[in-house]
Structure 1
Amino acid sequence: MSVDESFILSEFDSLVNSGVVIYNDKQETIEHVDGDLKVRLTLAKKPTIQLIPSASSEVQETNQKRDGSDISTVGFEIGQASDTHFLIANKFCWARPHLMLVTSDGCQRQYEALDLSDIKSAWLILSTVESDYVAFYNCGQDGGCSRLHKHLQLIPTPRNLFASFLDFENGEEPKVSFEWFYRRLDPQNTTAEQLLDIYNDLLEQATNVGKGRAENAATAPPDTAIPHNFILTKRWMVVIPRRRAAINKEAGVNAIGMLGYIVVATQGEIYMGPGARRLVLIGAIFRF
């Protein structure tokens, strides 16, 4: 099975042109230097962070959602990606395209660790599309998720991420102020089963340093993965334990944000305080 990138782009553009999907290709980008790290902040239309309901809360269902799901997919669906996952366009996009890889089973949850079907479906897309894409997963409320239905996201890989040094054999690791665990990959000789083993190993390392440290750890559903971010390209995998997703409902960072590509809706999310021109997002979110 392969994925037709031209079809995906055509469907995405059609949804944008019809007004169903919100995307502006003339987004303002601000660069900020934080120590040795250069961070890019993109101003784009996006919703504010919504706290996910507890595991005991009943998910409201409408005819726009699959059974057990809290994600509206009707009208956004692009096609079946595998036997277990389907592709939809993200309603509020900051890339062309910005996709969600959603489990066909609407009862799978975003606070669960990834399994073989998740990684196999993501790897199918990454390894067959012509362009360079990145797949990422925001696990748990403190990992930056705002919906319960289990899903990964995919966008064309932004340039100059903190992890971009992994694209080069002798790349120099930048100094970051959070714990992260990573592995270089051989795109020609890597299977989904091997990727799952690598993910489980990195997640175990992340769990050893992050267990019990998340802000909402006490109320997390039992036997779930620690809040973490998973980021995967054809050349590397990164797992980051998370302590918090945001300073407040406006200023939050997801998996790609942790690698230095942050999307915000307003200038107010970047600079806070009376008369201040002080970037608070970086320090408050990144310090693990």
Structure 2
Amino acid sequence: MENLSEMKILSTFEALVRDSILIYGPHEKIEKDYEGYPIEFRICPSLLKKPPTVGALLGASFNKGRKWGPGSDMYCPDERLILAKINNTHDFALNLFCVDKPQFILLTLDSYKRQHQTLDDDDFVAALEVLRHLDNIYIIFNCSENGGCSRVHKHMQGLRGPPKAFELFTQQSGNGASKVPFKYFMQRFSQALPNISASDVLNAYGRLLESSRGVLGLSQADDTCPHNVILWKDTMIVIPRRKGHFEQASANAAGMLGSVWVAERSTVEDWMRLGPRIVLQELGVPYSGL
């Protein structure tokens, strides 16, 4: 990734938007504070073209390119999307459906790896490599459908940070009642993540994941522990998840931290009707218990 500059990335991004390969368009922001929890709704009509759930099909125009490997449910309609290969384990690419300019995807070259599987050492090596070369990017991982994923080929995403509500998480413990409406587990490192070894991050992740299993009532025998991971600056946050959707409202890792992406204003109205804090408690684990 040494030769990958932000100018080069933006130039490629803009060219792919002009060529209608990459989907990015005008969007509206609605920012509010809900009982101390800030949320930014980003209404992006272009997301109507994005498959909303696992198994949903891409539009015919996106199926013109090759699949991202024989076991993949993702397509690569243009090789310019691929910005770099990392350690012969991951492709670092521009996301086909962007809410940020730019937005990244980091997906396994082994296209049979699945999104319900937990992160491993190769994943963290690749994620930390991205964080070393690009400032102001945070990494998210949505483990399983209940964690908010819509594609099963194992991948992480990179977005411009920080997430809207991030500071609330670092200002208090995740083990007691707080302005954060759901349980979470956090590791703050002594240095910025790019300076930490992947093995140390993996070990911390294992501890936080075990805590997540505990609040979800899962054992090691359970194959899947639905959860979200957020990597930003010197912090890793793991959020145990019960659901991917509550009625018409849904959220991935970014959404749980207050950066909610929707295709239509009606979805924001659904959040308002249900109550944002109630939605987040239903998607995660409320402090009052399961």
TM-score relative to the length of structure 1: 0.83
Residue 34 of structure 1 corresponds to: 34
The residue aligned with 2:239 is 240
Q: Greater share of helix residues, 1 or 2?
A: 2
Q: Offset at 1:235?
A: 1.5
1:1-288 → structure 2 map (5 Å cutoff)? 2=2, 4-6=4-6, 7-24=8-25, 26-44=26-44, 45-46=46-47, 47=50, 49-52=52-55, 63-75=66-78, 76-129=81-134, 131-158=135-162, 161-165=164-168, 171-172=171-172, 175-185=179-189, 186-187=191-192, 189-212=195-218, 223-248=222-247, 250-272=248-270, 278=273, 280-287=275-282, 288=285
1:230 aligns to what SS in structure 2? strand
Residue 36 and residue 100 in structure 1: after superposition, are their counterparts in 2 closer, same or farther (change >3 A)? same
- CA distance in 1 between counterparts of 2:142 and 2:243 reads 12
How far apart, CA to CA, are the structure 1 residues paired with 2:3 and 2:139? 14
Task: Tell me the secondary structure at the aligned position of residue 262 of structure 1.
Answer: strand
Distance 1:43 1:184, change over 3 A: same
SS at match of 2:119: coil
User: Separation in 2 of the partners of 1:272 and 1:3?
Assistant: 44
- Superimposed CA distance per residue, residues 42-66 of structure 1 (whole angstroms, 9 cap, x where no aligned partner): 101213521359xxxxxx9x84341
| Aligned 8 A contact 1:3 1:128 in 2 | no
**Distance (Å, rounded) in 1 between the aligned partners of 2:122 and 2:14:** 28
What secondary structure is seen at the aligned counterpart in 1 of 2:130? helix
Cα contact 2:249–2:279 (8 A) shared by 1: no
Shift of 1:93: 0.6
Q: State the alpha-carbon separation in 2 of the partners of residues 286 and 261 from structure 1.
A: 16
What is the CA distance between 1:19 and its match in structure 2? 1.3
Distance 2:275 2:266 in 1: 10
Count the aligned residue pairs.
Answer: 264
Letter in 1 for 2:208: L
Counterpart AA for 2:196: T
CA contact (8 A) 2:67 2:73 kept: no
For structure 1, the 5+ residue unaligned runs are 54-59, 214-221
Deviations 1:164-208 (A, max 9, x none): 2567xxx45652111100111212741111111111111111111
Deviation at 1:243, TM superposition (A): 0.6
Work out whether residues 181 and 280 of structure 2, in 8 Å CA contact, stay in contact via their aligned partners in 1: no
Could you tell me which amino acid in structure 1 is paired with residue 30 of structure 2? I
| SS at 1:88 equivalent | strand
Larger deviation, residues 203-212 vs 181-190: 181-190
Q: Could you tell me how far 1:234 is from its partner in structure 2?
A: 2.6
1:226 to partner: Cα distance: 0.5
Question: Could you say what secondary structure the match of 2:210 adopts?
Answer: helix
CA RMSD of aligned residues (A): 2.6
Name the residue aligned to 2:59.
none
d(CA) in 2 for partners of 1:52, 1:176: 32
Contact 1:2 1:128 in 2 (8 A): yes
Moved more, 69-78 or 102-111: 69-78
> Letter of the aligned partner of 2:98 in structure 1?
C
Q: Matched residues in 1 for 2:122 and 2:273: separation?
A: 43
Q: Residues 178, 165 of structure 1: CA spacing in aligned structure 2 closer, same or farther, 3 A cutoff?
A: closer
Q: Name the SS for the 1:120 alignment partner.
A: helix
